[in-house]
Amino acid sequence: MPLTICTAQLNYVVGDMPGNARRIIDAARQAYALGARLVVTPELSICGYAAEDLFLRPAFIAACDDAVAAVARELAGLKGLHVVVGHPSGGDMRSRSVQVQQRHNAASVLREGRVVARYAKRELPNYQVFDERRYFTPGSEAVVFEIEGVRLALLVCEDAWFDEPVEHACAAGAQVLVVTNASPFHAGKGGERLARMGARARKAGLPLLYAHLVGGQDEVVFDGGSFAVGADGALAARAPAFAEDLFMVQAETDSRGSVHVSGAVAEAPADEAELWHALVLGVRDYVGKNGFPGVLLGLSGGIDSALVLAVAVDALGPQAVRAVMMPSPYTADISCIDAREMAQRLGVRYDEIAIAPMFEAFREALAGEFAGLTEDTTEENLQARIRGVLLMAMSNKFGSIVLTTGNKSEMATGYCTLYGDMAGGFAVIKDLLKTRVFQLARWRNRHDPYGRGANPIPERIITRPPSAELRPDQTDQDSLPPYEVLDAILERYMEEDQDLDAIAAAGYERAVVERVARLIRINEYKRRQAPVGIRVTHRSFGKDWRYPITGRFRP
């Protein structure tokens, strides 16, 4: 008889140890009824990933210990069931003593009320969004346990990317590698994972089960898509991406003692689809897990706010989304027309608040101070800041969180107003370059992944030249290089760390490259004050990007 293994690919909440434990218990009981005798949960499933400096608090570790004990106790009556739970381990569970030097990122095997094995993660990542060496000490021992004649080795996430932990597992007699994971999403990451784990399985000559997390946590998104590969590295089973799932895999031993894995294979989403699902999941979980009743945003008639509105409606439904148009003296009539049409298409509440009277009041109040000076970006920024004040006032009054609408190109170059269009609580497209914004808008008009209606974005919003509409006849390209050029330079400089010489040698005008680099450098102070936003590339402005505001190095 084959061994049935279930991956509980669930959406856990950081710090909700009782809730996470309950989800694991319920999933394990359901999987057991379906024949599973091993249930695997993702990395740090008991406490959620990542709990950051909560790991430094003894009370947090103790609460995790209590939750592990609760899972073991409540599943004690399910004979033969093994459950792998991820949790921080900080010392002796009985004495509750927490030794900082011994805090581990652990995975424990529970069976019939007891912890029968415990593995400590060996390879602690400390790059991109990862900071695990701040919190954990690496383990050193292999852990292999047996169920119905099948010997399974535990690995935690990064361990499977390195030779030594796998070699030790093989030496300890493993027949199957079980890898628990919390691997943040970025575009293309799913294919990279599958390729690396396939290569790892081939080198070890063993099948591999990759048990992954799903859900949004602040700026990161976990995309699910747990999978199994055979000893030849070929895909044998895959769970759906961006969705909870009890993912079942059959592990069958042949007459030679080799184990073969199999299961259903869900289709992987295409490039634009996975980006869209990541944004939707990021919004849904940030709003839902933080208890906001809904969202509101300033709808300008431009492409960025249009895309954010479409994402918000797909994530939350139209009843939880409110759009506010705040025309200034420079707002084109067609911007109002397009904004109204889009709000109508998506069925959201739409309001208009003209800011001209407030703008004039500000100018009048400042007239004495600014006497003899020409109007410039000061007056442009006043309009953006009036809008920010209005949106935040509505947020305070009604409890909805303000979604900001700035994209990565703007955040990089400072083409945004501090305390204006940057005012809000969650930056949905903060990690999308402007060219990608256009691509996703066109994709969403062709597809309706959540049943909210096709073609939500009026075509004119996509085809009009982008403009902040803060002065007569303004377009973005008055202040910035063409987005095709700007975004290509940003990808090379910011995401790939290429130097200016290399970028210029690739065919970009040196003066433009230097200008873009300077804009990135001088606008770091703005980005430090920007709301948290969804990470969808391998290098975002957030945990991935840690540059000084004050400094004299000129790359």
Q: Which residues are catalytic?
A: 43, 121, 157
Q: Which two tokens stand for residue 200?
A: 């790892």
| 436: number of Cβ within 10 Å | 22
Backbone φ/ψ region at 453: left (φ over 0), alpha (ψ -120 to 50), beta: left
Rounded to 5 degrees, φ, ψ at 60 are -70, -45
Q: How far is CA 112 from the centre of its chain?
A: 35
Q: Which two tokens stand for residue 282?
A: 């990021």
- Residue linked to tokens 């608090």: 57
Between CA 222 and CA 213 the distance in angstroms is 6
Q: Which two tokens stand for residue 26?
A: 């319920």
Cα–Cα distances in angstroms (integers) from residue 423 to residues 92, 323, 356, 436, in the given order: 46, 15, 20, 23
- Residues comprising the chain, all counted: 555
Q: Are 220 and 533 in contact (CB under 8 A)?
A: no
**Does residue 130 sit in helix, strand or coil?**
coil
Between CA 424 and CA 427 the distance in angstroms is 8
Burial class (CB in 10 A: 0-12, 13-18, 19+), 524: middle
Between CA 52 and CA 473 the distance in angstroms is 47
| 39: number of Cβ within 10 Å | 27
Answer whether the bond into residue 530 is a cis peptide, omega within 30°: no
Which residues on adjacent β-strands are paired with residue 82?
38, 111
DSSP conformational letter for 535: -
Q: Are 404 and 428 in contact (CB under 8 A)?
A: yes
